[in-house]
Amino acid sequence: MDAYLKMLLANRAWVEEKLELRPDFFTKSAEGQQPEFLWIGCSDSRVPAEDITGSEPGELFVHRNIANQVQPADLNVGSVLQYAVDVLKVRHVIVCGHYLCGGMAHAMHDAVGTAVDEWLEPARQLRRRHAAELEGTTDAVRRLDRLVELNVTAQLQNLAQTRPVSAAWASGSPLQIHAWVYDLRNGTIRELESRSK
């Protein structure tokens, strides 16, 4: 059986399971969403936001891209952020990176020519700014781990400077932003930094 057909069958099993636990699951879900969290994470298939946080459908508003970037010129992340903060009134925005990130591994080397190369240029610039620290680490895995951490905190700084976040804080909103890192090797999440007004 083709893999995509297995996914369709798994969906039917999931529907049955949800209805067995809560017969009104889908009717309640269709009424609207009021998530408390916006999750900005990596596109990596091994980092499913709902699974690793134990969240149910409707609890997280999710945006994912390669290496969990919050780039000022990116209309996609900008529109998701604006909708989450201005319309959904989320209370927390989480930028979550992860160790063993392929995007960050790609950013460890200078490369040009592809869309991924262009997308990761800010991460390469970050690597260059922290070259002394990173090159002082002889362990390649630890060096990559550190770049992942630096990237997550840099994205938190970018997030703090966005119009939706700065406007929310100026209006007295209790919005909090968080920099987290997920460890694929043991399944744990660690908070690196948190900010509020």
Could you report the per-residue pLDDT of 73-113, keeping only the tens digit for each? 999 999 999 999 999 999 999 999 999 999 999 999 998 88
- The whole domain housing 70 covers 36-196
Model's pTM, two decimal places?
0.94
**For the chain, what is the radius of gyration of the CA atoms?**
19
- Specify the pLDDT at position 111: 82
Q: Is residue 72 domain-resident?
A: yes
Catalytic residue IDs: 42, 44, 46, 98, 101
Please give the Cα distance from 70 to 158 (Å, whole number). 6
Residue 21 lies inside a defined structural domain of this protein: no
Query: Mind listing the pLDDT tens digit of every residue in the chain (197 residues)?
Result: 799 999 999 999 999 999 999 999 999 999 999 999 999 999 999 999 999 999 999 999 999 999 999 998 999 999 999 999 999 999 999 999 999 999 999 999 998 889 999 999 999 999 999 999 999 989 999 999 999 999 999 999 999 999 999 999 999 999 999 999 999 999 999 999 999 98
Residue 20 is assigned to a structural domain of this protein = no
Indicate whether 30 belongs to any domain.
no
Helical ranges in the chain per DSSP H? 3-21, 25-30, 49-53, 75-82, 102-107, 115-119, 121-129, 131-135, 140-160, 163-170
- pLDDT given at position 1: 79
Look at residue 75 in the predicted model and tell me its pLDDT.
96
> 22 lies in a domain?
no
Length of the chain: 197
Residue 68, domain member (yes or no): yes
Structural domain tally of the chain? 1
Q: What is the CATH number of the domain that holds 95?
A: 3.40.1050.10
Residue 181 maps to a domain:
yes
pLDDT of residue 17: 93
With respect to residue 28, please indicate whether it lies within any of the assigned structural domains.
Answer: no
